[in-house]
Chains A and B, each alone.
Chain A
Amino acid sequence: MDQKLGCFFCSVRDSIRDLLPIIIVIAFFQIAILQEPIPNLGRLLIGTLLVAMGLTFFVRGLEMGLFPIGESIAYGFARKGSLLWLLLFAFALGFGTTIAEPALIAVADEAADMAAVAGVVPDQPQALARYALGLRLTVALSVGLAIVLGVIRILKGWPIHYLIIGGYIGVVAMTAFAPPEIIGVAYDSGGVTTSTVTVPLVTALGVGLASSIKGRNPMVDGFGLIAFASLTPMIFVMLYGMLL
């Protein structure tokens, strides 16, 4: 612990190394391809320093807070043995973290504008807001269900690929019937649901559950919750597009 704290500067250095590619790419394209000077160089440097500090704190907090609490909850539920509460927790975690996700709010608003252009909803602020909220609720619901399904899979030890491949067949089948303007949004909604705070928590939960249940391998069974959370929104959003 003390050793870790002493090496705060090592982790800042690691974080700067993580950011180096992005700086190189931006500098290369700006100077070599676009042949323009970098505007606000000072501001860029300060921003990069902030990002590096942020990444350092985040990783430290991850190891102190998010990972241990995710695992301790998983062990707690495994010891208590109450399936209902575990599933309820899984749903609450999936739903609660998705509904407030800023990336999802942005995508939902854009999708509402697009639906208005396509003539699905009247182009009025109220109707648009309702459409966007409906979309957000749909995605949050589907993520909640995904985590529940993923937890059941860990408990039962089902092989993940059957479920994921089944989900793909669902996505492909829905694509054939869904209105074309929703397809792009639906495919993208899978990616935007999983936020930076949710991912470590959900991963720790899965790995914790798999390692506290006899006969489960944390590597084979513990991962996969995020895969479900990125797959089900596609199906549900296309369903939303078809029903409306």
Chain B
Amino acid sequence: MDLLVGLAKTTLSTILDVLPIAGIIFGFQVLVLRRPIPHLRRVLTGFVYVLIGLSLFLVGLEEALFPLGKLMAEQLTDPQFIYGAASEVSTLLRWQDYKWVYLFGAAIGFAATIAEPALLAVAIKAQAVSGGAINVWGLRIAVALGAAMGIALGTYRIVTGTPLHYYIIAGYIVVVVQTAFAPRLIIALAYDSGGVTTSTVTVPLVTALGLGLASTVPGRSPLIDGFGLIAFACLFPMISVMAYAQIGQWRARRAGTRRQE
């Protein structure tokens, strides 16, 4: 019964979410472009599918994965877990004590990014546009690896309490340097993949991890240090996607020279 109520509620809020978008699109199509929409029936069915899909997706996440994921984030950052049953909470903070948190951050960052529907959409489009040169799974795994690295580093930052902007600025410098060397075709897509990693699945899980960590590590405030994980998850996929293309280019070049010999 709970499930049905949740489903009805989520469907309603999804409709409210999609309605302004649909309004803008159909409004411009009818009033400005003054052209009938090609395959109107099919497009409308598609919109209904998107609504159903998103609602089921969100309800499933809320029902099952989020509560458990959030609970685990709390348990893993709990001082009792970190310092053992003896619970001699040392005043000396050692970043090594949080090794499971970094690993969990990386693993959940990777897994949540693979499940992210927005990334799937961009990957499908990229594969179609590039004529298969960019592969859906290749791109998704590259982005997920980037997100995993970013979140692991982000949790390390919360534990050590170093300023966020040092990391972000250093990341930007890496992105700028890579841009100079990466194949031109990948650059726009790489920049885009920063933004798509963080939506429906990743944000709630990662936020729970950040807030849990910032409220249990001595000397950190959840309000000041809890933010910033999403920024990490946005920055590192750009680096990893460009690296993915660079590795591909390098291998192609090596294969080419070998063939010449």
Binding site for B on A (CB under 8 A): 18-19, 21-22, 24-26, 28-30, 33-34, 36, 38-40, 43-69, 72-73, 76-77, 80, 82, 85, 89, 92-93, 96-97, 99-103, 106, 110, 113-114, 117, 160-161, 164-165, 168, 171-172, 175, 180-181, 183-185, 187-188, 190-201, 203-204, 207, 211, 217-227, 229-230
Tell me the residues in window 39-74 of chain B with beta carbons closer than 8 Å to chain A beta carbons. Answer: 39, 42-65, 68-69, 71-72
Q: How far is the CA of A26 from the CA of B38 in the complex (A)?
A: 44
Q: How many whole Å from B205's CB to the nearest CB in chain A?
A: 9
The answer, yes or no, to whether B92 is at the interface (CB within 8 Å) is: no
User: How far, in whole Å, are A85 and B107 apart by their CA atoms in the complex?
Assistant: 45
Contact B17 A64 (CB under 8 A): no
Which of B45, B64, B176, B179 gathers most chain A CB within 10 Å?
B64
Q: Are B25 and A73 in contact (CB under 8 A)?
A: yes
Encode B112-141 as 1/0 by CB contact (under 8 A) with A. 101101101110111001100000000000
Nearest residue in A to B25 (C-beta to C-beta)?
A: A69
State the Cβ distance, B74 to closest chain A Cβ, in Å.
Answer: 11
- Provide the bound-state CA to CA distance between A93 and B22, in Å: 10
Instruction: State whether the Cβ of B223 lies closer than 8 Å to any Cβ in chain A.
Output: yes
A-side contacts of B60, CB under 8 Å: 46-54
| Chain B 195-230 per-residue mask, 1 if CB under 8 angstroms from chain A, else 0 | 111111101000100000000000000011111111
Partner of B172, one of A22, A168, A221: A168
- Docked-complex contact A55 and B49, CB < 8 angstroms: no
In the complex, what's the smallest C-beta–C-beta distance from B79 to chain A, in angstroms? 14
B residues less than 8 Å from A82 (CB atoms): 32
**Also in contact, A58 and B50, with CB within 8 A (given A103-B203, A188-B231):** yes
Task: Say yes or no: B188 contacts A160, CB within 8 Å.
Answer: yes
Extra contacts, 10 of them, besides A34-B76, A61-B53, A65-B49 (Cβ < 8 A), are: A25-B111, A55-B53, A57-B49, A65-B42, A99-B20, A164-B191, A175-B168, A196-B54, A197-B54, A200-B122
Contact A102 B196 (CB under 8 A): no
Cβ distance A231 to chain B, nearest Cβ, rounded Å: 8
B107 close to A191 (CB less than 8 A): no
**A85→B28 contact, CB < 8 A:** yes
- Which residue of chain B lies nearest to A24 when distances are taken between CB atoms in the complex? B111
B203–A192 CB distance below 8 A: yes
* Cβ contact within 8 Å between A65 and B50: yes
Q: Does B259 contact A (CB under 8 A)?
A: no
Question: B108 contacts A224, CB within 8 Å?
Answer: no
Contact B118 A69 (CB under 8 A): no
Find chain A residues with CB under 8 A from B47 CB. Answer: 61, 65-66
Q: Known A22-B111, A50-B60, A64-B42; judge A96-B76 contact (CB<8 A).
A: no
Residue of B23, B35, B44, B56 with most chain A CB atoms under a 10 A cut-off = B56
| A-B residue pairs in contact (CB < 8 Å), sample of 5 | A33-B104, A61-B47, A65-B43, A66-B121, A217-B185
Which 5 A/B pairs are nearest by Cβ-Cβ distance?
A65-B46, A47-B64, A54-B57, A61-B49, A184-B227
Distance, CA A201 to CA B68, complexed state (A): 32
Residue of B nearest to A195 (CB): B199
- Taking the closest CB of chain B, its distance from the CB of A32, in whole angstroms, is 10
Does B188 lie within 8 Å of A227, measured CB to CB? yes
Pick from A30, A72, A197: contact of B72, CB below 8 A: A30
Residues from chain A with Cβ under 8 Å of B185 in the complex? 217, 219-220
* Interface pair A181/B224, CB less than 8 Å apart: yes
Q: How far is the CA of A93 from the CA of B233 in the complex (A)?
A: 25
Contact partner of A93 among B21, B38, B104, B226, CB < 8 A?
B21
Residues of A within 8 A of B114 (CB): 18, 21-22
Cα-based distance from A22 to B69 in the complex (angstroms): 9
Q: Nearest Cβ in chain A — how far from B104, in angstroms? A: 6
Shortest Cβ distance from residue B139 to the other chain A in the assembled complex, whole angstroms: 11
B255 at the interface (CB under 8 A from A): no
A26 is contacted by which of B68, B179, B194 (Cβ under 8 Å)? B68
- Kindly report which residue of chain A lies nearest to residue B75, judged by CB atoms: A34
Q: Which residues of A contact B62 (CB under 8 A)?
A: 47
CA distance A180 to B129 in the complex (A): 42
Q: Is the CB of A114 within 8 A of B188?
A: no
Q: Are A168 and B176 in contact (CB under 8 A)?
A: yes
Chain B 131-173 interface mask (CB, 8 Å, partner A; 1/0): 0000000000000000000000000000000001100110010
Which B residues are in CB contact (< 8 Å) with A223?
A: 122, 126, 188-189, 191-192
